Structure 1
Amino acid sequence: MTATLNYSISHLAPATPQSLDIFELKESNVRSYCRDFTATFHTAEGSTLTSEQGQVFIDFFSGAGALNYGHNNPVLKAALLDYIGQNGITHGLDFKTTAKKAFLTAFEEQILAPRNLRYKVQFPGPTGTNAVEAAIKLARKYTGRQNVVAFTNAFHGMSLGSLALTSNPRKRAGAGVTLNNVTFMPYDQYFGESVDTSLYLANMLRSGSGVDKPAAIILETVQGEGGVNSASPAWVQAVQAIAREHDILLIIDDIQAGCGRTGDFFSFEALGVTPDIVTLSKSISGYGLPMSLVLLAPHLDVWEPGEHNGTFRGNNLAFVTGKVVIDHYWSDASFTQVLKAKADVLHQGLLTLSQGVAATAPNRLKGRGFFKGIEFEDRSLAQKIAAQAYLGGVIIETSGIENQVLKFLPALTITPAQITQGLHILEQAFAEVTAP
């Protein structure tokens, strides 16, 4: 007789106190988020997470930006369960499947075409760093050059090629090898608001500087891990003009800043530029399912069949939810309008919060849309506030080289009431941390 396996959520919940030590006993020391958010989380819905003990947390983290539409979004979940129930293809390599066809059609008709973007779509491995690796590999193949320009405070991933583009010294140290063929340039306002760093880039690309002509320039329009540094339209436009002058490809890494995070689907829409290559991941599936894309100008598609591939580049479950995201949220302008109005609620709340503690904790509000940060002059303060907010029921992370920025990534579907509640808890955390 075949035993019936019960994989319900209640069955998976640890039943004994001893099992709570399994993470410490068996999981690698490399784990990080669980050291700050110590609860064992059991269920999640929308913008809340619930622990085994029943404590409810407001989520201002959203899976590091992978859950722009919230946890277990009911519209996406219904489509996913229906697809699975019909024995739809789950793993498909780069086979043609109905799920991929539906996603590509929706992406072309409702995302690319209305924005007059003519990109071809590459499915690399399922994570953001896979997309970056493919993008720089393609740029080098197309141009025949090796060097790539990246920027101060950049973060592009943890595999070797992406890590070479990442500036954080602690993350770079983990590579164990020399990270080559990248030249770092100063990001917008790196030397202060009065210095146009695009002029530095322009001068360093002239002959005689010692900088090898790059295959590509890669940038984030908002540097998430680097401290929520937001580039101005003028600066990004200047960088694009420099790239075109020197026949260098412009890659925009929209892995965290894209998919509506800054208010538009792509973070570069409001900046007046059209990159040659775009990388997307995190919330492109909408449900937290692994998926990434490389969008490339058609003339750049010089790949040979199978020249870059990956076993899990065909995640059909992600195609299903990604297509529903497009249909449900991006098929007309109403979602963007509501999103921008709600982002203003968040901004005003953060502005009040920032100004309210300025006397005891000098700080600066940063970012765009639903991608915000508060940077503190006291570099230790953000981590203390995040820890105190967690005790009060808010999950929020820090960013920046010294973790000096309190970073806000709420789901785009969060309610105004949840924003207000979460900010109230943060206000209490500010007061407790900064009290004499």
Structure 2
Amino acid sequence: MVNHDLKIFEELESNVRSYVRSFPTVFKKAKGYKMWDINGKEYLDFFAGAGALNYGHNDEKMKQKLVEYIMSDSITHSLDMATEAKGNFLKKFNEVILKPRNLNYKVMFPGPTGTNTVESALKLARKVTGRTNVISFTNGFHGMTIGALSVTGNAMKRKGAGIPLQHVVTMPYDNFVSESLDTVEYLERFLEDNGSGVEIPAAMILETVQGEGGVNAANFEWLQRIEAVCKRWGILLIVDDVQAGVGRTGTFFSFEKAGITPDIVCLSKSISGYGLPLALTLIKPELDIWSPGEHNGTFRGNNVAFVTATEALTYWEDDTFEKSIAKKSEMITEFLTNIVKKYPELKGEVKGRGFMQGVSTPIEGLASSIAAKAFEQGLIMETAGPEDEVFKLFPPLTISEEGLEKGFKIIEESVQSLVSTKHPVAN
């Protein structure tokens, strides 16, 4: 039943609001992997701010650092001036993340959101190469501003631009058509043939696991071959790790296990660690040809986010955290695999990897109904894909095994209540 207090949002907030429709209650408190509404009802959070809360809600150490920083009258807003907080973050990010992975990137702060980092990446790629077009991939999602929207696949979101979205060619993502179609060969044929109508682009932009597009995971060989095509033709490879990065797929960067090194990497969402707005654009040094101030933004120096982001990196100082993600990722895969087997009525397919997994079902409206039923039972979970055909599990990476099991039980009960044949719920 819709909470009476939702009336204020219905009366005063724009129709564009969306998540409040999927999760119709007024939230008041959050900690770890749990949230509570104003009536005191507890929810398990298998949504994690669409990947912005990989470390859960109100992490104690980050909270303490944040409170100390604010209470000491330290710098909050600074444009891109040098501050102690920014310097601390840059140093730790280089030492804990980049150096151990043999990555050499300059760090750009493009503005506070994922779409800001994508816009800066596209702009820089065009500046470096002198070319105009960009190749994107089917079902990609990269943001809601015009440039980022032009490389996004979703028809409804693209239509919202209100103008033609140009200078982008969309190519099929891995397994978009079928397993038998080699989409890399298909793409390269367009580049090779002067009669194809496709010019050599400035860049290719992709997610290694497509979140909003349906939790589609590219295989590592496909990613390696895409990188090889880019190198052959002098095309810059941009990996959008806004949602798939910061541990969501099991490693800090989603592309690590594929063994590729993108020219430009886009990060946002969980990079601040605390849900505060922050974005980075990582650039190979030889590509960093910006003139001072050529790309700027009022809120690119979010110092309170630097403070929590620096503390968040302590999770990555050794391999303990990564090993825990791997173990719990296996639990998620096993659970979803069993759900698909146990409930054939779903006609389900397990998708994704790491803490970025879900089940796709071709039955119209079923994934959304399962997510809605789960919410009634106290679990927050969203859907993905062009037809909302995937219910996806996005819990915080810090969730306990007990918390996962509780969530699994609610999800299975929700599935069981909506498919035709009844099965006993596992203990």
TM over 0.5: yes
1:237-248 → structure 2 map (5 Å cutoff): 237-248=224-235
| Residue 424 (structure 1) aligns with | 409
CA distance in 1: counterparts of 2:117 and 2:73, whole angstroms: 29
| Residue 355 (structure 2) aligns with | 370
| Residue 67 (structure 2) aligns with | 81
Q: Contact (CA 8 Å) 1:49, 1:57: kept in 2 or not?
A: yes
CA distance in 2: counterparts of 1:411 and 1:257, whole angstroms: 13
Render the CA deviation track for 1:85-105: whole Å, top value 9, x for unaligned: 111111111010000000000
| Residue 164 (structure 1) aligns with | 150
CA distance in 1: counterparts of 2:239 and 2:325, whole angstroms: 23
Letter in 1 for 2:206: L
Q: Give the match's secondary structure for 1:205.
A: helix
Render the CA deviation track for 1:296-342: whole Å, top value 9, x for unaligned: 00010110111000000000011001000112x00111111111112
| Residue 216 (structure 1) aligns with | 203
Letter in 2 for 1:366: K
Instruction: Say whether 1:383 aligns with 2:381.
Output: no
Render the CA deviation track for 1:161-213: whole Å, top value 9, x for unaligned: 00000010000000001100000000000111122100011101112211021
Instruction: Say whether 1:344 aligns with 2:320.
Output: no
| Residue 354 (structure 1) aligns with | 340
CA distance in 1: counterparts of 2:6 and 2:183, whole angstroms: 50
Instruction: Say whether 1:229 aligns with 2:216.
Output: yes
| Residue 92 (structure 1) aligns with | 78
CA distance in 1: counterparts of 2:4 and 2:119, whole angstroms: 41
| Residue 389 (structure 2) aligns with | 404
CA distance in 2: counterparts of 1:19 and 1:225, whole angstroms: 30
Q: Contact (CA 8 Å) 1:349, 1:420: kept in 2 or not?
A: no
CA positional deviation for 1:18:
7.2
CA distance in 2: counterparts of 1:220 and 1:60, whole angstroms: 21
Report the CA distance shift for 1:96/1:69 in structure 2 as closer, same or farther (over 3 A). same
Render the CA deviation track for 1:373-392: whole Å, top value 9, x for unaligned: 10002132100100111000
Q: Could you say what the CA RMSD is over the residues aligned between the two structures, in angstroms?
A: 1.0
Letter in 2 for 1:48: K
Render the CA deviation track for 1:253-308: whole Å, top value 9, x for unaligned: 00000000011000000001000000000000010000000000001011011100
CA distance in 2: counterparts of 1:18 and 1:190, whole angstroms: 44
Q: Contact (CA 8 Å) 1:221, 1:230: kept in 2 or not?
A: yes
CA distance in 2: counterparts of 1:22 and 1:107, whole angstroms: 42
Instruction: Say whether 1:280 aligns with 2:229.
Output: no
Letter in 1 for 2:89: F
Size of the alignment, in residue pairs? 418
CA distance in 1: counterparts of 2:37 and 2:50, whole angstroms: 19
1:98-109 → structure 2 map (5 Å cutoff): 98-109=84-95
CA distance in 2: counterparts of 1:286 and 1:336, whole angstroms: 15
Q: Report the TM-score, using the length of structure 1 for normalisation.
A: 0.95
Render the CA deviation track for 1:15-72: whole Å, top value 9, x for unaligned: xx97542101110000000001001000000001100011100000000000000001
Q: Give the match's secondary structure for 2:97.
A: helix
Structure 2 residue corresponding to 1:57, chosen from 43, 46, 53: 43
CA positional deviation for 1:233:
0.7
Q: Contact (CA 8 Å) 2:355, 2:394: kept in 1 or not?
A: yes
| Residue 312 (structure 1) aligns with | 299
Render the CA deviation track for 1:133-161: whole Å, top value 9, x for unaligned: 00000000111111000000110000000
CA distance in 2: counterparts of 1:355 and 1:304, whole angstroms: 56
Render the CA deviation track for 1:336-364: whole Å, top value 9, x for unaligned: 11111121122212222222112x22100
CA distance in 1: counterparts of 2:211 and 2:83, whole angstroms: 34
CA distance in 2: counterparts of 1:392 and 1:297, whole angstroms: 47
Report the CA distance shift for 1:257/1:18 in structure 2 as closer, same or farther (over 3 A). closer
Render the CA deviation track for 1:206-254: whole Å, top value 9, x for unaligned: 1221102100000000000000000011101110100110000000000
CA distance in 2: counterparts of 1:281 and 1:205, whole angstroms: 31
CA distance in 2: counterparts of 1:390 and 1:361, whole angstroms: 19
CA positional deviation for 1:432:
1.0
Q: Contact (CA 8 Å) 1:135, 1:279: kept in 2 or not?
A: yes
